[in-house]
Amino acid sequence: MKLLKYFKKHKKLTRYLGLLFVIILSSVIIYFRENLASLEKFGYTGIFLISLLGSATVILPAPTLVVTFVGGGIFNPFIVGLLSGTGAALGELTGYIVGLSGQTMIEKHKTYKKISGFVHKHSFSGIFLLALVPNPFFDVAGITAGAAGLSAKQFLTATWLGKTIRFILISYLGAGSFKILGLSGGG
């Protein structure tokens, strides 16, 4: 409880620590990137962790779509989609934290300006739509949401809804593809 009060009192320090955490986490994920795919052998837990870690990298692509597609063909596609969406939503908090820290080094880039305008105008529904549609710019939306002061609860809820729906659909596509090809799974 005292630690929480300390962080509330020292918001600037908290923001810098959050940014430092994101940088360290992204660096570790990039360094061990080759080992991420091996988590898939751990079943549902591996799928969740790949989605979490893959989405925690800011701006860099990750294998979450492929893992969800294949996982849907091997395991229960609804559970795979739910776990992938939950892991991805939690991982996206890194971009939000970067935006919250106020250290948006990309704010002069035209893509940032477009997405920023969209997020400012549509808030929850904008984040939901950007999370629903696979796009390489969702990290920018997270950064914008944090910088705009969208609450963490709103950001996480909109992101979770969009990503979970998307990953459930991708997982069922994987299950259907496995059935068409005569491979076992999807169960």
The residue that leads in pLDDT, 131 or 177, is 131
The residue that leads in pLDDT, 99 or 59, is 99
Residue 43, Cβ density class (10 Å: 0-12 exposed, 13-18 middle, ≥19 buried): middle
The domain limits of the chain are 2-32+42-180
pLDDT higher than 70, residue 106:
no
pLDDT at 8: 53
pLDDT higher than 80, residue 153:
yes
pLDDT higher than 50, residue 81:
yes
At 2-30, the pLDDT tens digits run 644 555 566 666 666 665 665 665 565 55
Q: What is the mean pLDDT of residues 113-125?
A: 72
